[in-house]
Structure 1
C-alpha cells in the first residue's frame, strides 16, 4: 500500500461512483445527500478562507487595497504564525505530505534532470516548509554528450509541491555584511508558491534564493578549449610580438650587451599581438557568461511551466483542493457504511474502501478513515454501538439532519419586524 493519502479522482466522479453502487431507487436521494453535505463543507471552508485572507493581508505583496489600521509588531507576528498554522492545516486537509529535511537534502545530491547545479543558502530563512502530493515513479529519456547518447532515467515525481518560505529580517543580513539592496529577495518577506510536475531531484530549483553554479563538467567544457586555444594564441602571436620587448628589457637591466631598437613594424606587431590576446580573453569571459545565462534561462523556463499559483492565490487553490478531499472522504465513508448492512470497525471500513478502489479502479492510496468518520460524527450522521463499531443513520434521516444543520447556520428572527402592510 502506498503512503499517498490523496484520492486521485474528482469529487463529482467519486459521488458518481457511489451513486452507481446505490440501489436504483435511492440514487437520486443519495445524490441530493451528497449535494447537501458538499454545501455545508463549502460554507465551512469559505469561513476559513476569509480568516486566512485577513491574517495574510499585512504580508501580501500583491495587495491593491489600502490598509485602514496598521497592525503592531505583535499583531504582525501573531498573524504570521496564524498564516503558517492555517497553511499547514490546509495542506493536511488537502492530503499533502510534508517533505522531510532528508528528502530536501537528497535533492541536492541526486542527479538533476535539468543538468543545472544550484546552491541555496539555508541561513537566509527564518522558516522553510515544503509539501508534496501525487507521488509517482516516471521514466524519461535524457540526452548526453551533445545528443550523441540517450539514457533512460527513472525518478520520483511529485504532482504538486507547496512551498512556504519566510526570510530573516534585514538586520540579520546587515550584521553579516551583506548589502540588503543587492539581495534577490526582500528580507522579512513571506513567499508562498504552488508548483506542479516536479521531479524530486529538482526540488532545489523551487527555493527562491537558488543561485546557478557551474558544474565541473561545464567548467571543463569551457576551460579545456580555453587553455588549448590560449596556448596557441600565446605561442603564435603574443610571444613573437613580445620577443623584441623582452630583448630590450634584458638590455636595460644589463643581461644583454647588444642594444635593441624597435621599429614601427615591430611596434605594430606588438600591438596586434596584444589586441589578439585581449580579444581572446574577452571571448572566454563571454563564453562563461553565456553558459551561465543559458542555465538561468533553462531554470526560468522550467519554473514558468511548473508554477501554478503564488501568494494569496495559493490559498484559493489549497482551499478548493482541501474541500474536495473532505467531501470525498465523508461521502465514501457514509456510502460504504450504509452499503455494508452491518456495523463496521474503522479498520474494516478503511480496508473495504481501499480494496474496492484497488480492484475496480486500479488506484492505491491510504484512505483517511479517521478524517472521514470524524466528519460524519460532527455532522450527526454516525451511529456508534458499544463495541466501537460504526453505522450511519438512514439516507432520509441523514438528509433531514444536514438540512437542519444548514438552516441553523444563520440565525434571523422576524420578531418585532413590521408586517409589510
Structure 2
C-alpha cells in the first residue's frame, strides 16, 4: 500500500454531523465537476459537463472500499476484522437476493428471448404475453435503478438524435417502429479525440466527445398489423398505402429481428450524438458535404460524357457502330457515378459497424446477468459506507442529511470522486434485514459487527428452508415442440 493509500485508509468517515450540515455540499477534488443534489434528469445527459448533476454511481470497486473501510485505525476496540467479516457476509447475502430475483425474471424472459435453444413446452395467450412483457420491463427498470443507471425519456431521445455525429455520420432512426423502448445510461462524461477537417486545412485538432460510459437499450419491434393501423390513423392513408409505407420504413430492420422477441443490449463509451447506431433500424444518410461533392462529380461526368457522345449519337443513321459505342460509354459513366454513391454509403456502414463492434458489451440474457451483478455491487457499497457511520456513532433520523453529506465528503477526499450518495435506499435495505432498527425517539440502533455477522449467518440458514416453490400463473403445458417463434 502506498503512503497516499495508507493515509486515506486511516481516515474514517467524518461523523461531525453539525459541521457536515453547515458546510453544505462536499468539496470537489481537482478535475471534478460540481453539480447539484437534485436527481439526475435525462436532459442532463446531453447538457454541458458543467451543468450536469452528480450521479449516484460510485466509481470505486467494492474491494477497494472494503479495504479502506476496514483499516485497523478506522474501528475502535479492534473491531476492524469483525467489520470486514460482516461486510463479506453482507456482500454474499445481497448477491444471493439478486440471484433469487433473477431466477424469476429469467423464467419470465425465456419465451421472449431471441437466443433460446430450449424446448418450449408452454403456450401463452396474447393477454398472458402482455402481462409477462410488462413484468420484464418493470424488472429490468428496477435492476437498472439499483445499479444507479439513469433513464433517458423518449422526448430526450428525440433531442439527442439531432446532435452532430462524433464519427462524421448522418444517422436516422424511426422510433415509431418499436412497441417497447427503454434507454438507460450510467456515467455521462467526455473523452478526448482527434480529427482533421477541410475548413481547418486538415490540420490535426483535439476535441471533446460527450459519451455515455454505459448505455442500455431494450426494444421490441411493433407488430406489423399494429404499425399499419397506426399509420392509417395518423397519416390518413388507406390500407394498401399504409402497408407500403410500413414496409419501406422497416426495410432496414434485419429479418432476424422478430416481433415476438424482446431484445436487450449493453454498450460502453457510446458517443451521445451517435446513439442512433445502437438501434436495429438505423438508416445512414449522406451529409450535405458528401451530397455536394458526389453531385458535382456525377453532374460534371455526365455533362462531359453527354457532350462528347452527342455528336456520335447524331450519326446513328450513317455510323451506327460509333453511335452505339457512344451510348455504351455514356451508360458506363452513369453506372460509375451510381456506384460512387453506393460505395460512399457502404463506407458509412463500415464505419458504423467497426465502431459499434468495439462498443458492444452484452446481449439479452447476458445483459440481465451483468446488470444484476452491478446492482448488487452498488447496493453493498452503499450499505458498507452507511453502516460504517451508524455502527460507530449515535445517530438519529434527523441526522440523515448530515450523514449523507459526510459520506459524500469521504468519497471526495479518499477517492477524488463526486457522488450523489443514495442514503435512503441503503438505510431501507439495512432496516429491512434487521441490521438497523429505528427507536421511538428516532435513534438508529445498529448491530455491532460481530453480532451483525451472526445475524446474516442465521438468515442464510433460513433462506433455503423458506425458499418458495416457483409458481407460474401464465401459459398452458402441452406436449411437443412449439417450433420457431
Shorter-chain-normalised TM-score: which range?
Answer: 0.7 to 0.9
Match of 1:149 among 199, 203, 208: 203
Conservation of the 8 A alpha-carbon contact between 1:346 and 1:389:
no
Residue aligning to 1:189 = 261
Match of 1:26 among 60, 63, 79: 79
Residue aligning to 2:436 = 382
1:361 has 2:415 as partner: yes
Conservation of the 8 A alpha-carbon contact between 2:66 and 2:84:
yes
Matches within 5 A, 1:126-205: 126-145=179-198, 148-173=202-227, 176-177=242-243, 178-179=246-247, 182=251, 183-184=253-254, 185-205=257-277
Conservation of the 8 A alpha-carbon contact between 1:106 and 1:201:
no
Q: Secondary structure at the match of 1:129?
A: strand
Q: 1:349 to 1:277 in 2, by over 3 A?
A: same
Q: Secondary structure at the match of 1:290?
A: helix
In the alignment, structure 1 segments of 5+ residues that lack a partner are 246-261, 413-421
1:40 has 2:93 as partner: yes
Q: TM-score, normalised by structure 1?
A: 0.88
Residue 212 of structure 1 and its aligned partner are, at CA, apart by 1.1
Q: Take 1:224 and 1:62, find their aligned partners in 2: how far apart are those partners?
A: 47
Residue 144 of structure 1 and its aligned partner are, at CA, apart by 1.7
Residue 116 of structure 1 and its aligned partner are, at CA, apart by 1.1
RMSD value over aligned CA atoms? 2.1
Q: Take 2:260 and 2:113, find their aligned partners in 1: how far apart are those partners?
A: 12
Match of 2:66 among 5, 8, 15: 15
Matches within 5 A, 1:241-390: 241-245=312-316, 262-263=317-318, 266-340=319-393, 342-343=395-396, 345-390=399-444
Deviations 1:3-32 (A, max 9, x none): 211010112121112112335822221111
Deviations 1:286-310 (A, max 9, x none): 1111011111111111111111111
Residue aligning to 1:58 = 111
Q: Secondary structure at the match of 2:79?
A: helix
Q: Take 1:164 and 1:149, find their aligned partners in 2: how far apart are those partners?
A: 40
Q: Secondary structure at the match of 1:410?
A: helix
Q: TM-score, normalised by structure 2?
A: 0.77
1:408 has 2:472 as partner: no
Deviations 1:342-363 (A, max 9, x none): 5462111111110111122110
Conservation of the 8 A alpha-carbon contact between 2:150 and 2:185:
yes
Conservation of the 8 A alpha-carbon contact between 2:211 and 2:272:
yes
Q: Take 1:104 and 1:225, find their aligned partners in 2: how far apart are those partners?
A: 36
Greater RCO structure (CA 8 Å; 6+ sep): 2
Q: 1:164 to 1:338 in 2, by over 3 A?
A: same
1:214 has 2:286 as partner: yes
Residue 332 of structure 1 and its aligned partner are, at CA, apart by 1.0
Q: Take 1:232 and 1:170, find their aligned partners in 2: how far apart are those partners?
A: 47
Q: 1:24 to 1:306 in 2, by over 3 A?
A: farther
Residue aligning to 1:415 = none
Deviations 1:350-391 (A, max 9, x none): 111101111221100111101110111011111334453534
Conservation of the 8 A alpha-carbon contact between 1:337 and 1:343:
no
Q: Secondary structure at the match of 1:66?
A: coil
Q: 1:187 to 1:411 in 2, by over 3 A?
A: closer
Q: Take 1:406 and 1:110, find their aligned partners in 2: how far apart are those partners?
A: 51
Residue 71 of structure 1 and its aligned partner are, at CA, apart by 2.1
Deviations 1:39-76 (A, max 9, x none): 21111111111101110011111111101222222221
Q: Take 1:34 and 1:374, find their aligned partners in 2: how far apart are those partners?
A: 17
Deviates more, 1:375-384 or 1:175-184: 175-184
Conservation of the 8 A alpha-carbon contact between 2:211 and 2:271:
yes
Residue 335 of structure 1 and its aligned partner are, at CA, apart by 0.7
Residue aligning to 1:86 = 139
Residue aligning to 1:398 = 452
Residue aligning to 1:109 = 162
In the alignment, structure 2 segments of 5+ residues that lack a partner are 1-34, 36-52, 229-238, 467-485
The total of aligned residue pairs comes to 393
Q: Secondary structure at the match of 1:152?
A: strand
Q: Secondary structure at the match of 1:409?
A: helix
Residue aligning to 1:6 = 57
1:226 has 2:314 as partner: no
Q: Secondary structure at the match of 1:109?
A: coil
Q: Take 1:43 and 1:76, find their aligned partners in 2: how far apart are those partners?
A: 28
Q: Secondary structure at the match of 2:465?
A: coil
Q: 1:387 to 1:273 in 2, by over 3 A?
A: farther
Conservation of the 8 A alpha-carbon contact between 1:5 and 1:366:
yes
Deviates more, 1:266-275 or 1:44-53: 266-275
Deviations 1:255-291 (A, max 9, x none): xxxxxxx43xx32321221121111011011111101
Q: 1:389 to 1:111 in 2, by over 3 A?
A: farther
Conservation of the 8 A alpha-carbon contact between 1:195 and 1:306:
yes
Give the 4+ runs in structure 1 shifted more than 6 A.
none
Deviations 1:148-167 (A, max 9, x none): 23343323211110001121
Residue aligning to 2:471 = none
